[in-house]
Structure 1
């Protein structure tokens, strides 16, 4: 069945099942992607499908409700940001079970203009994937929210410092990602981000030290420094 912007949830799921690949599931698992509800379809295949389907809020809710990995990726990619609410994101967050789904949801959070309220709330949340969502959203915002003032990201650096000791794998990697992307966003943000990275690198806490040292390595890369200086 050929898909179109008029395709229903059932149409889409039926089509996705024809693309399922058991062979791909093992590779996904090696990257820490939850595969218990996955069909094994790579993003290189789902991305064109999302563009074909276009945006539909009601259908996106239906796709998310299936629980299927690929359907949830399509849900995040094809929802209508203007119709997305904080309550909807909170309900989604309660079901986060994979870093990959979290990172797709971060794009929707940014597009829906919910980053300001969700980031501090989720950074304070003890659930691993919910906290990851806060820092994944910071990293995503640093790249995609072009009009957001640097002052916003300076404030979010405080959240990076506050949670730099969270040793859970999917949190610490997102905290590190947020720090690096913030430092690469602009010349004005580079110095404060690097300063925090150096502070964390000198920490006695093992996780904070790793986050800091890795960020220092990237933020002192001559090519990045040169690029940011050229934009100053």
Structure 2
């Protein structure tokens, strides 16, 4: 039985004992690298995270494991108040899938929305490091409700700068960030839609795809009806 006092070794043993290798095929189908997966779903990992609680030292130890599930559990149990920007950037060197990036992005935003760190991730040419920047923006646009609109409008030039990156997990995150900024409220919507329309007219295929998709998303009448002033 796991508890808040469980060691990293005990947690790893429990992960191995409850794993279902039959789940691995499904991970492959959605683009998750599985060479180090043992077979636990994210809902199951979130339940374990609730049982063991946040414990930074144990999370650091779990992160050292090559096992996918151990790394994801580490991301769910790091103490965001103890994470420094250099540590977050170092973690990105071990990212191997979009799910790991997106879970880490939530953690990093919880640690504090840091435009300088986001710019640092965006400047990194590694696919998953760059995705981290835009996954952070996308998540923060939804969850950081008290953050001024100007913070998110200021991310639009960064989105424009990297909208030509045609790597799958980058372009989808850039698109995601643009759409989420646009759905914050009407002022953000106007700024995001203007950029989306600009990108939609680009001669570059990736920029054009991001722009057209965002224009379609941000112009949907049902979504427009939900926008706040």
TM-score band, normalised by shorter chain: over 0.9
Structure 2 unmatched ranges of 5 or more:
none
State the SS of the aligned residue for 1:6. coil
Distance 1:61 1:88 in 2: 11
Which residue number in structure 2 is paired with residue 139 of structure 1?
138
State the SS of the aligned residue for 2:166. coil
Q: State how many pairs are aligned.
A: 229
Map 1:5-44 → 2, pairs under 5 A: 5-44=4-43
Residue pair 2:3, 2:52 contacting (<8 A) in 1 also: yes
TM-score w.r.t. the length of structure 2 is 0.97
State the SS of the aligned residue for 2:115. helix
Which residue number in structure 2 is paired with residue 116 of structure 1?
115
Distance 1:146 1:197 in 2: 22
Give the 4+ runs in structure 1 shifted more than 3 A.
Answer: none
Distance 1:158 1:144 in 2: 21
State the SS of the aligned residue for 1:94. helix
Residue pair 2:113, 2:140 contacting (<8 A) in 1 also: no
Map 1:161-172 → 2, pairs under 5 A: 161-172=160-171
- Asked if 1:158 corresponds to 2:157, the answer is yes
Distance 2:68 2:130 in 1: 20
Cα-to-partner distance string for 1:66-89 (whole Å, 9 max, x where unaligned): 122111111111111111111211
Q: Output the aligned Cα RMSD.
A: 1.1
Residue pair 2:54, 2:77 contacting (<8 A) in 1 also: yes
Residue pair 2:89, 2:121 contacting (<8 A) in 1 also: no
Residue pair 1:166, 1:207 contacting (<8 A) in 2 also: yes
Structure 1 unmatched ranges of 5 or more:
none
Query: Deviation of residue 114 (structure 1)?
Result: 5.0
Map 1:64-213 → 2, pairs under 5 A: 64-213=63-212
Distance 1:17 1:217 in 2: 44
Alpha-carbon spacing, 1:114–1:87, altered in 2? closer, same or farther (3 Å): farther
Residue pair 1:76, 1:108 contacting (<8 A) in 2 also: yes
Distance 2:89 2:98 in 1: 16
TM-score w.r.t. the length of structure 1 is 0.96
Which residue number in structure 1 is paired with residue 44 of structure 2?
45
Cα-to-partner distance string for 1:120-152 (whole Å, 9 max, x where unaligned): 111111111100000011001111112211101
